[in-house]
Amino acid sequence: MNVAIIGAGATGLAAAHDLLKAGHRVTIFEANDKPGGLAAGFKMPHWEWSLEKFYHHWFESDADVLKLADEIGARDRVIFKRPVTVSYWNGRFYPLDSPAAALKFPGLPLAAKIPFGLAMIYLKYLTSNWRALERYTAHEWASRWMGRQAYEVIWQPLLEGKFGDLYQQVNMAWLWARIKARSTRLGTFVGGFQAFFDALAARVQALGGIIQYSTRAEELRIENAESKTWCVRTLSQFSILNSQFDVVLSTTSPRLMAKLAPQLPPDYLSALNALQSLGAVVVIFALDRQLDRQGYYWHNLPKSAGFPYLAMCEHTNFVEAEHFGGQHLIYCGDYLPTSHPYFSMTEGELRDAFLPSLAHFNPQFDPSWVQDAWVFREAYAQPVPFVNHSRHIPSVKTPLPGLFFASMSQVYPWDRGTNYAIKLGRETAAAMLAG
């Protein structure tokens, strides 16, 4: 087969890898100038490593990404560490990332910790029946079985921060997947995640794949239903090109897929357009010194406490500052509807809105500590899974012959991330090979 893949993120590259190994021809069209998608990074001249535009880490339980890293000869560059994740309660930060930490947490009396602990054991070790859980919202299930007090102190702030006004509608299977699959040891890649995707892209090219960067897909059109020939219309350096392929895989957002392939049947287009998601906003501050002097990595933040974002991640409490010229790197991130003012503010306005909050993490913080700052925004970053979400996810094999679609919305019930994007890409490649 002569295959076109739209997008050189984790899903597209993983699919390309398997298709090429099976003996097919693959051309990838990527709108950006490098591979990686949402996990792509940037690098300042005085840095040894790249930094992801949106905060990323792997989990020790991420079997699919580790398997692919092994296959491309890069497993020895994966590093796992045990940074500390904390949650904000009553004006202070407390670790809540292990059973021992949960037992010591002062925000709940022992009587409330017992049902919470039993429910966590059930979700982590005793059940894999996520389809039964998706019939309930996380709000109602966790309130009942973990106890209302534990839910209101621990889970409600996280759900509310993540999904905003939609938090009471998110189904329990999504929360189960986060508890079930995640580990306390977190992973990164030597050189940064961009180095991993550069290595994967290089492997794809070594297998004979073609990657056309700075090339945006404009239209996917089936020219001849009998011969099943697909025309991929692309825009590259202001030149419009039309190329023909036997099979096409799009790894774009659902809304963009609906625009690229209007020939899809109305029911499939409706399913694409019905999928809801949130965008991501991140401000990264480069400081001349450590912000959180206790060395905490990930800070879960309740909006009710006045924080202007969902999470603060001090990246250099996970990856040493020496890899970034001695600078200490702080992510301040949030998931929001694209109608939120954060998406229309200038970069300067957004930096100014986030900067004062850094004093919450260190009362001695002074704006003079900031040496640089960057703002990144993405419209499609966090799918929103409602009750019985699995019934509404479009199949990766579309009704049109030879056209496939694989996006973050289809990794459900697992949360979006590199590992499950790779898993989806390889599963989609298998479906393409099956015909």
- List Cβ neighbours of 420 (8 Å cut-off, separation of 6 or more): 64, 411, 414
Same domain, 129 and 163: yes
In the chain, the number of structural domains is 2
Residue 228: per-residue pLDDT: 80
Q: Which percentage of the chain shows pLDDT scores above 70?
A: 99
Is the pLDDT assigned to residue 37 strictly greater than 80?
A: yes
Residue 271, CA distances (Å) to 102, 169, 303, 319, 359 in order: 41, 18, 32, 41, 44
Do 381 and 239 touch, CB atoms closer than 8 A?
A: no
Assess whether 175 and 204 both reside in one domain: no
Which pLDDT band holds residue 28 (cuts at 50, 70, 90)? very high
pLDDT at position 225 is: 65
- Residue 233 counted as domain residue: yes
pLDDT of residue 301: 95
Average pLDDT of the segment spanning 57-82: 97
Token duo for residue 375: 């703002």
Same domain assignment for residues 394 and 263 = yes
Binned at pLDDT 50, 70 and 90, residue 223 comes out as confident
339 token code pair:
């109608």
Judge whether residue 128 has pLDDT over 80: yes
Average of pLDDT values for 201-227?
92
In this structure, is residue 252 part of a structural domain?
yes
Domain with residue 207: its CATH number is: 3.50.50.60
User: Which of 181, 203, 231 lies at the terminal end of a domain, its last residue?
Assistant: 181
One domain for residues 149 and 13: no
Question: Domain range holding 138?
Answer: 98-181
The confidence score (pLDDT) of residue 303 equals 86
Would the pLDDT of 357 be above 70?
Answer: yes
- The pLDDT tens digits of the residues spanning 389-404 come to 999 999 999 999 999 9
pTM of the model: 0.95
**Could you tell me the pLDDT band of residue 154, with boundaries at 50, 70 and 90?**
very high
d(CA 95, CA 102): 8
In this predicted structure, the answer to whether residue 196 has a pLDDT above a threshold of 90 is yes
Last residue of a domain, one of 135, 154, 181: 181
pLDDT on residue 424: 98
